[in-house]
Amino acid sequence: MNMPGLRLFGAALVVLLGIWAGLKTHSIRRAHEIPGVAVPAGTASAPTVSDGSASEAAMPHPIVPGRLPDFSLKDLTGKSVPISTWGGKSLVINFWATWCAPCRREIPLLKTLAAEWAGRDLQVVGIAVDYPDKVRDFAGQFKIDYPVLIGDQDALDVAAKFGMDSPAFPFTVFTDRRGEVVTLFVGELHRPQVDFILSEVQDLNQGRVQLPEARRAIAEGLQALAEKQAG
């Protein structure tokens, strides 16, 4: 190949690499740049059609799956970990990013929950939609001692499985020990909200309530908490 041809090939290669790098960066930043779904912060997901009236189901909330979808993401060491690792436990799955201020504020609460429930039937799992090196540094700085999974586009794909196609961070998924999705909470978690949701999850685990009843109770209870706080 002559010199002009080599220069032309080299220029084209640089352009292609630039496009690839841009797409790679966009896959991670997309969650930060795209507005969140139409779910009020600090509220639970709406009941599904089987849980309540048609008017409830028509509310502009994400379509949350009935059961925890199967997925795998890499942990802080780079090892691929399936979510089924914690099968048989209720899960608190927190989606976050290092650049998200509310995400950072709720980490101490999540650490406290993980410590309180250690060795019992509940597991806190963080899913960071961010660059691995930033997450590792952040986890070390904040001494996060619960499992953290990391991803870019693959983590966004997991968020989409929960109906969060354009995720607003943070958001947290609560499941029972059978892998049923009890609720999805959008916004920063606080202790009264978490305690109320987990009390319903435990009632569900122990057979004192059924899933539709627990979902409705959580939606109504969180609304009451929000109104009390606003008042």
CA distances from 101 to 97, 104, 124, 188 (A): 9, 5, 20, 9
Say if 13 falls within a structural domain: no
Cβ atoms of 187 and 45 within 8 Å: the answer is no
Examine residue 16 and state whether it is found in any structural domain, yes or no: no
Residue 211 and residue 193 in contact, taking contact as beta carbons nearer than 8 Å:
no
**Number of C-beta neighbours around residue 220 at 10 A:** 11
CA dihedral sign of residues 39, 45, 49, 52: negative
pLDDT in tens, 133-180: 999 999 999 999 999 999 999 999 999 999 998 878 999 999 999 999
Residue 14 lies in a domain: no
Give domain status of residue 186, yes or no.
yes
Q: Which domain holds residue 149?
A: 43-230
179-221 pLDDT, tens per residue?
A: 999 999 999 999 999 999 999 999 999 999 999 999 999 999 9
Tell me what the mean pLDDT of segment 88-116 comes to: 97
Q: State how many domains the chain has.
A: 1
Give a yes or no: residue 177 inside a domain.
Answer: yes
CATH of the domain at 89: 3.40.30.10
CA dist 160 and 62 (Å) reads 9
Is 203 within a domain?
A: yes
What phi-psi label fits residue 27: left (phi over 0), alpha (psi between -120 and 50 degrees) or beta? Answer: alpha
**pTM for this entry:** 0.77
107 is written with which tokens? 């980490």
Give the residue among 95, 161, 101 at the shortest CA–CA distance from 128. 95
**Contact status, residue 126 vs residue 149, Cβ threshold 8 Å:** yes
